[in-house]
Amino acid sequence: HSLREVYIELFDTLDESLTNALQRDVDKYAPGINIIAARVTKPIIPETIRENYERMEAERTELLIASERQKVVEKIAETERLKATIVAEKQANVSSVNMQKKLIEKQAYQKIKAIEDANHIRHQKAMADANLYMQKQKAQANTLKLTSQYLQKQTYDVLQGTPKVYFTSKISDVLNDAPNQKRRR
């Protein structure tokens, strides 16, 4: 045992330990004797040993304090690292969520654009189909309408509206002939 253990830490149990050790030895070598109690007073330690002990204890205490301070500093540094790690993870998660949000927005925009483009193409196709149908109907109507009688009537109508020039020596022949032309029609 060390001086510290004997003088400080275990001194209060020394009486009981001594009594038990003595009783064992007495039972072994001189049966019938009962040890009731044993009392040990604290020994007087020489001054030089006491001073050395106190100095060592002071150094030991300082070492324990320094060790505890170092542990506290390490714990603080570890806590700061953990905080920094948590903040970095949080920022990474926020960044990931923002990127995912932007990706979803872009995908939604692309889907909307695709739908708008498809609608535009359908509208243009419908307009082209309607125009083609109208042209076919006009062509069919013109085919039915452009008969030889209709063309002949159109020729007469066009000729009637055009000015006529007569070359004659007498104006009276032209004037007398004009009422006859109206009757022929």
Q: Which residue has the tokens 């109907």?
A: 137
H or E stretch covering 149: helix 148-161
Comparing 108 with 184, the larger pLDDT belongs to 108
The three-class DSSP label of residue 155 is helix
What's the pLDDT tens digit per position in 19-36?
999 999 999 998 888 988
Residue 165, phi then psi, degrees to nearest 5: -120, 125
- Write out the two tokens for 154: 């159109």
Q: What is the pLDDT of residue 179?
A: 54
What's the pLDDT tens digit per position in 62-104?
999 999 999 999 999 999 999 999 999 999 999 999 999 999 9
Single pTM value for the model: 0.39
Q: Report the distance separating Cα 159 and Cα 163, nearest Å.
A: 8
- Write out the two tokens for 1: 């045992």
